[in-house]
Amino acid sequence: MDLGALKRGVSMGPLAIRHAGLCEKLSDMGLSWCDHGDIIPVKSGATTNQLKNYEQIAEANGRLYAQTRESLERGAFPVVLGGDHSVSAGSVPAVAKACKDAGLIWIDAHGDFNDDQSTSTGNMHGMPLSVVCGCGPDKMAPYAGTFIDPMRAVLVGARDIETLESLRLKEAGVTVFTIHDIDRMGMSEVAGEAIKIASSGGGGIHVSFDMDVVTPDAAPGVGTPVHSGLTVREAFLSMEMLYQCGKVLALDMVEVNPILDEQGRTGILACELILSILGKSVF
């Protein structure tokens, strides 16, 4: 799905990650897997300037919500391949519904905490963190009856947050570790604190990873790049620590845009980061 984004092409992100060898590499790690295929949005639906394509996005994410819940009920670990970040409005509520007191670690260059009143663009990939914390817009996830407690939601790697969005994050009580915090504290300490906060309810953690959090030199294939992001090693360290904590329930890997990529680098990196949170190690 790329209906939540300004630029087209991120709908091909799942294909790029698969093409990088995700399923084959999972088998090489000794993991069993099942590829449930793509969820394709319906061709038309209601839209407004403040909530672009909201009906199509909600319909597709309703199906993703159901599929994610089914996977969790079978005891599987859902890996959701985006697509723009609006897909997390389908996956995260499913985890919150299935797993009481779950927390959330949102690794992203952006705040994603707008609603239809604060947005300056109407692009709904700038709203899913707000949605899954129960702060709206409600039209984006009409199927969701359970949300993440904002006090157990942690945004990591932010470096492009709008003014109204910043106020909404503070009012909701979301913990934000900006790129400045990572520079000052180091990724090891930031990731450790994020895990502690997100898991404080004892219900496990959903991880939602937006590839634009990585510095554009290393991940050029994203629709909304922001300079001076996470290094590749910082990104891997965060995923390695998340695996080691043993508390992660599900993963979103989003915003890979093959049209804007260079020789598949971003898709390959996304694939390797997924393998890392599933336990791939150097030694």
Question: What residues are labeled active site?
Answer: 85, 108, 110, 112, 125, 210, 212, 255
Helix (H, G, I), strand (E, B) or coil at 256: coil
Identify the CA nearest to 261 among candidates 7, 4, 1: 7
In DSSP terms, which residues pair with 62 in a beta bridge? none
Asked if residue 267 lies in contact with residue 221, where contact means CB atoms within 8 angstroms, the answer is: yes
- Residue 230 has phi, psi (to 5 degrees) of -60, 145
Contact partners, residue 266, CB within 8 Å, separation at least 6 = 16, 211, 219, 220, 221, 222, 256, 257, 258
What sign has the CA pseudo-torsion 46, 12, 109, 129? positive
- Cβ-proximal residues to 210 (8 Å cutoff; 6+ apart), any chain: 85, 106, 107, 108, 109, 110, 112, 222, 254, 255
Write out the two tokens for 55.
């009906």
Q: At what angle do helices 232-245 and 187-198 cross, to 10 degrees?
A: 40
3 state DSSP class of 154: strand
Q: Rounded distance, CA 192 to CA 187, Å?
A: 8
Tell me the residue length of the chain. 283
List all residues 6 or more positions away from 11 whose beta carbon is below 8 Å from its beta carbon: 1, 2, 83
